[in-house]
Amino acid sequence: MNAAKLLVVAVLGIAVGLFVGRGQDAPAPVITASGTGATYEEGFSAEANSLTLDGNSKSVAGPPMSDVVVVVKEGESIQEAVKNAERGTTIRVMPGTYHETVYIDKDGIRLIGVIEGGRRATLDGEGKLNDAILYSGNNVVVENFRITRYKGNGIMSQAGNNWEIRNNLIIDTGVYGIFPQLGKNGVVEHNVVSGIEDAAIYVGMSDNVHVAYNEVFDSVAGIEIENSRHAIVEANYVYNNTGGILAFITPGLPIKTTFDVIIRNNFVKSNNHPNFGAPGSTVAGIPAGTGILVMAADDVVIEGNIIRDNKNAGIVITDHSHAANVTIDPESEPNSDRVKILNNLMHNNGYETIPEVRALMLSKLQTGNPDIVRVGPSQDSCIINRHRYVTVGLEEFGECEFTNTYQTANYLLPPVAPREIRGEDRGKIAYLGICAGCHTYTGRMIGPPVQIIQALYMDDPEGLAAYIASPTKKRDDYPEMPPQNYLDEETRLAVAKYMLGVKN
- The string of pLDDT tens digits covering residues 320-369 is 888 776 777 778 889 999 999 999 999 999 999 999 999 999 998 889 99
Best CA proximity match to 112, nearest among 167, 174, 43, 55? 167
Residue 48 has pLDDT above 80, yes or no: no
Q: Of 416, 436, 453, which residue sits at a domain end?
A: 416
The CATH number that applies at residue 455 is: 1.10.760.10
Strand runs labelled E in 19-109: 69-72, 90-93, 96-98, 102-104
Same domain for 397 and 441, yes or no, is no
Same domain for 57 and 170, yes or no, is yes
**For the whole model, what pTM was predicted?**
0.85
In percent, how much of the chain has pLDDT > 90?
Answer: 64
Q: Is residue 301 part of a domain?
A: yes
Same domain for 181 and 105, yes or no, is yes
Same domain for 399 and 431, yes or no, is no
Same domain for 151 and 174, yes or no, is yes
Same domain for 445 and 479, yes or no, is yes
Best CA proximity match to 60, nearest among 428, 413, 437, 355? 413
Same domain for 382 and 490, yes or no, is no
Give the range among 195-209, 248-262, 352-366, 439-453 with minimum mean pLDDT.
439-453
Write the DSSP symbol of residue 31: -
Same domain for 469 and 395, yes or no, is no
Q: Is residue 322 part of a domain?
A: yes
Q: H or E segment at 17?
A: helix 3-20
Taking phi over 0 as left and psi of -120 to 50 as alpha, with beta for the rest, 402 belongs to: beta
**For residues 35-40, average pLDDT:** 29
Same domain for 487 and 377, yes or no, is no
Same domain for 235 and 355, yes or no, is yes
Range of the domain at 185: 31-194
pLDDT digits over 150-179, tens only? 999 999 998 899 999 999 999 999 999 999
Give the range among 97-111, 135-149, 201-215, 431-445 with minimum mean pLDDT.
431-445
Phi and psi, residue 35, nearest 5°: 65, -115
Pairing of strands 163-166, 169-171: unpaired
Q: Of 386, 416, 446, which residue sits at a domain end?
A: 416
Number of domains the chain is built from:
3
Q: Is residue 84 part of a domain?
A: yes
Cα angle for residues 369, 374, 379 (degrees, 5° grid): 150
Best CA proximity match to 245, nearest among 301, 292, 288, 197? 292
Q: Is residue 203 part of a domain?
A: no
Write the DSSP symbol of residue 436: G
Q: Is residue 23 part of a domain?
A: no
Q: Is residue 370 part of a domain?
A: yes
Confidence of residue 82 (pLDDT cuts 50, 70, 90): very high
Same domain for 63 and 140, yes or no, is yes
Best CA proximity match to 293, nearest among 373, 234, 400? 373
pLDDT digits over 1-29, tens only? 433 333 333 333 434 333 433 333 333 33
Same domain for 45 and 166, yes or no, is yes
Strand runs labelled E in 393-472: 398-399
Bridge partner list, 341: 302, 383
Q: Is residue 3 part of a domain?
A: no
Q: Of 143, 166, 194, which residue sits at a domain end?
A: 194
Q: Is residue 210 part of a domain?
A: no
Residue 287 has pLDDT above 60, yes or no: yes
